[in-house]
Structure 1
Amino acid sequence: MSTEHDQADSTGLHAELTRFLRDSGALTSDWAEAFEAVPRAAFLPDLMWPFDMDTGAGLPVDRRTDPAGWERAAYSDVPVTIQWDDGQHPGPGPGRVPTSSASMPSVVARMLADIEVFPDARVLEIGTGTGWNAGLLSARLGDRNVVTVEVDESVAERARAVLRRLGLHPDVVCGDGRDGRPDTAPYDRVLVTAGVRDMPAAWSAQTRPGGLIVAPWGTHYCDEDALVRLTVADDGSASGPFCRPLEFMKIRAQRLDWRRFGSHVERYPGDAAESVTTVTLSDLGEERRFSAAKFVIGLCVPDCAHVLNTGRGASDESGESTVWFFDMTEGSRSWASVVSRPGEAKAVVRQSGPRKLWDEVSRALEWWRGQGSPRVESFGLTVTPEGAQRPWLAGPAHPVPSFAE
């Protein structure tokens, strides 16, 4: 049972988080009342895995055994995993793949500011998760104006129960978010809280002309996203700029299954063509998160996935790093690798298959540099009524080139 001291601590931590969000500029004044009324902690389960910024891992915290630690994590500006492996891993340790989470409060606050709601605006949220976002929207706009869609039945049911307990009753729907919610369309705003690789045409079709779609979008080249803010036109197309880099768990149907590349490299290096390059890991953006270089390569080299393997384990003292590139085109087995060693000015490039993936990547990098190495925020995206995606630089009249051969 909670004591008055426990409740006072929670109230103090909640006020401290809200004050931090205000002072940092993440929380705008028009959302302050909703944040004060709807505490994040109310939506978090007893066992959760806050992301540790120092170790880069999700560490378990259980309210039943460590209530003070749980409270601190609940009111910290860190993302919190609430589900692993689509619910197949109950814990207590981390599972293989995090599949549902509570976003950083600062990210939540900024995205709510991005959608620019107004009185009686109707909002469709894709990705209910804990239900905190839906609760904040309902507190601001009223229950009847908020529809939220969650693909996982257990996650949806838990969010619905927490919302009801707090006296909030948005329409919580269990379904595929890619389909939107046509029964109650049109909407003034669509807010997506999962990473997107293919923007569903249904979202634009269910948004009023002049309405906004705000979503974390990216390519399969890497896990990183950029928040795109699209305005829907009369013809059903949607276009707008990227606002800032960030990273979300991906929509389940659009996750990258790395097992699909298992047959690409049957023998290494086999008959791969070999060359050298002076391009470094830093040039490729591999030494930092949210690199514009990685983002732009993904735009310019379609249907390409890549991964960095570093030889820094106890069994490998060479420090050798290998960047792998795989062609995602159905039936293709094209691949490339770039092997770098500390102290060596040149890296070894190997390529196999009809697509010369490294040539495409290096050309994309050269193009980006030739444009002055623009930031992610200099780019934007247009989505046609049919769902085709067309990235651009500085405006829709300047499409990003594709270097696929």
Structure 2
Amino acid sequence: MDWEKRAARLADQVADPDSRWLPVVAAVPRHELVPRWWEVDDSGAWALREGGDDLDAWAEAAYADRSLVTRVGGLHADHAMPGDRPEGLPTSSATLPSLVVRMLRHGRLGAGLSLLDLGTGAGGLTAYASCRIGDRYVTSLDVDAYLTNAAASRLANIGLHPNFVTADVTERVPGTYERIVSTVGLPAGPGLRPVLAALATGGRIATTLERTSLIITGWKQASGDVVGRVERDTAGFMLTRSGDDYPPALTELFATARKSDGDETTTGRYPVVDVLNAWELRSMLEVTTPGVELAYEQRDRTRTAFLVHADGSWARASAEWTDPPEVHQSGPQRLWTALERIRNRLNTEGALPLLGAQVRITPDGVCHLSRGKWHAAVGAR
């Protein structure tokens, strides 16, 4: 495979001509990190792709600016048999290179500064960082021992030998680092404490918060607080997981939301929206009403959104295209009403206060957001 020319084209696509990341992206044989991956086929099921079966397709996939899903549920593509059809959500991937470069830039890496890469995945960020600042300064951590072992072996094959750690970041993070860059959505609150403790005083973190697209960056103060901002940039990463797969979805509650009338039926003010892919709305919903799970479906011109919460709350909104939806809700929270309050604010003010907000993360993991008169705390109990 003539990967060098493909990698150079990818580098031109994801980095500016004067960027120090341009030669780094061009130097990494990304295909060697992703020999197998999952794609959704025409039937909507996950199908295995093996690079060695079609070198042209492998090269096209590996050197495109796209994410490649490498693990679905508990089944890694490396362990799959032909014909396997895993079910569930992606649990690991090779992140698209342009996003990797953006997160590294947010991390403000520098010569001689130690870096912790949270979420090894296929090892792409680890490889780029190792080429840029030297592999002896780079540590990559993942909860999955297979991922860290596979990445260590594949990076060694291309001459890179960073340190790898297998651990659950919500429980412990060995070592202290001057830079932390996370390509998983970290939980605010107690689950963030080990990461904050691993950040050296004066060090910088760049991460997203789980169930949001918010990229938060900040510097650690002598007080232990991390002070920074929500970048005017967004990213969607998988949630941090502590086990082999994510906790079971609220399947029974989703089933109730699909068929029940609930205890309140109203007409919504705004058209049905796929909240999961309306990133700013989704982020604000998580900030104001944490823990909401989402689903969306479209059949012909009928669009339906479902919102559920572990406290038993649920909402269903359904309408023909952009017509006002019929909304059914039940439980201690009115989830669609909470979403409409956010949409009211967006329509009234023309923007939400998230992007560009100031951030202070206290050692207990609570993220305090503020912008003007607006204040919110994420992860508080």
Whether TM-score is above 0.5 comes out as: yes
Q: How many residues align?
A: 369
Query: CA-to-partner distance for each residue in 1:49-93, whole Å, 9 max, x for gaps?
Result: 3689x9998764322221121112111111111222222661546
Query: CA-to-partner distance for each residue in 1:228-285, whole Å, 9 max, x for gaps?
Result: 212222222223322222212221239463235538828943551222122112xxx5
CA–CA separation in structure 2 for the residues paired with 1:228 and 1:338? 32
Counterpart residue number, 1:306: 294
Equivalence map 1:92-171=2 (5 Å): 92=82, 95-96=86-87, 97-171=89-163
Query: CA-to-partner distance for each residue in 1:126-166, whole Å, 9 max, x for gaps?
Result: 11112222122222222321111121111111111112222
Counterpart residue number, 1:247: 236
Q: Given the superposition, is the C-alpha separation of residues 204 and 401 from structure 1 closer, same or farther in structure 2, using an over 3 Å criterion?
A: closer
Counterpart residue number, 2:315: 336
CA–CA separation in structure 1 for the residues paired with 2:75 and 2:255? 31
Counterpart residue number, 1:398: 374
Residue 249 of structure 1 aligns to which amino acid in structure 2?
M
Counterpart residue number, 1:273: 264
Question: 1:263–1:333: 8 Å Cα contact kept in structure 2?
Answer: no
Structure 2: runs of 5+ lacking an equivalent: none
Residue 330 of structure 2 aligns to which amino acid in structure 1?
S
Question: 1:28–1:113: 8 Å Cα contact kept in structure 2?
Answer: no
Query: CA-to-partner distance for each residue in 1:202-235, whole Å, 9 max, x for gaps?
Result: 111221223211112243xxxx522221222222
**What is the percentage of aligned positions where both structures have the same residue?**
23
Q: Does 1:294 align with 2:285?
A: no
Residue 76 of structure 1 aligns to which amino acid in structure 2?
A
CA–CA separation in structure 1 for the residues paired with 2:118 and 2:86? 24
Query: CA-to-partner distance for each residue in 1:335-380, whole Å, 9 max, x for gaps?
Result: 2222212474x32222222323333332233234444323752335
Structure 1: runs of 5+ lacking an equivalent: 1-5, 313-318
Residue 39 of structure 1 aligns to which amino acid in structure 2?
P
Equivalence map 1:51-90=2 (5 Å): 60-87=48-75, 90=80
Question: 2:7–2:25: 8 Å Cα contact kept in structure 1?
Answer: no
C-alpha displacement at 1:392, in angstroms? 3.0
Equivalence map 1:193-212=2 (5 Å): 193-198=183-188, 200-212=192-204
Q: Given the superposition, is the C-alpha separation of residues 144 and 207 from structure 1 closer, same or farther in structure 2, using an over 3 Å criterion?
A: same
Q: Given the superposition, is the C-alpha separation of residues 401 and 87 from structure 1 closer, same or farther in structure 2, using an over 3 Å criterion?
A: closer
C-alpha displacement at 1:172, in angstroms? 0.6
Q: Given the superposition, is the C-alpha separation of residues 292 and 380 from structure 1 closer, same or farther in structure 2, using an over 3 Å criterion?
A: farther
Match of 1:349 among 327, 343, 346: 327
Please identify the structure whose Cα radius of gyration is greater: 1
Match of 1:11 among 4, 25, 38: 4
Question: 1:188–1:208: 8 Å Cα contact kept in structure 2?
Answer: yes
Q: Does 1:379 align with 2:357?
A: yes
Query: Which shows bigger deviation, 28-37 or 105-114?
Result: 28-37
Question: 1:299–1:391: 8 Å Cα contact kept in structure 2?
Answer: no
Q: Residue 109 of structure 1 aligns to a residue in which SS?
A: helix
CA–CA separation in structure 2 for the residues paired with 1:342 and 1:44? 40
Match of 2:305 among 323, 331, 339: 323
Q: Given the superposition, is the C-alpha separation of residues 270 and 259 from structure 1 closer, same or farther in structure 2, using an over 3 Å criterion?
A: same
Normalising to structure 2: TM-score of the pair? 0.85
Q: Does 1:258 align with 2:240?
A: no
Match of 2:27 among 17, 31, 37: 37
Question: 2:358–2:370: 8 Å Cα contact kept in structure 1?
Answer: yes
Q: Given the superposition, is the C-alpha separation of residues 265 and 137 from structure 1 closer, same or farther in structure 2, using an over 3 Å criterion?
A: same
Question: 2:208–2:215: 8 Å Cα contact kept in structure 1?
Answer: yes
Q: Does 1:364 align with 2:337?
A: no
Normalising to structure 1: TM-score of the pair? 0.80
CA–CA separation in structure 2 for the residues paired with 1:309 and 1:35? 38
Counterpart residue number, 1:3: none
Match of 2:38 among 49, 53, 65: 49
Q: Given the superposition, is the C-alpha separation of residues 240 and 59 from structure 1 closer, same or farther in structure 2, using an over 3 Å criterion?
A: farther
Q: Does 1:231 align with 2:219?
A: yes
Question: 2:169–2:194: 8 Å Cα contact kept in structure 1?
Answer: no
CA–CA separation in structure 2 for the residues paired with 1:340 and 1:401? 34
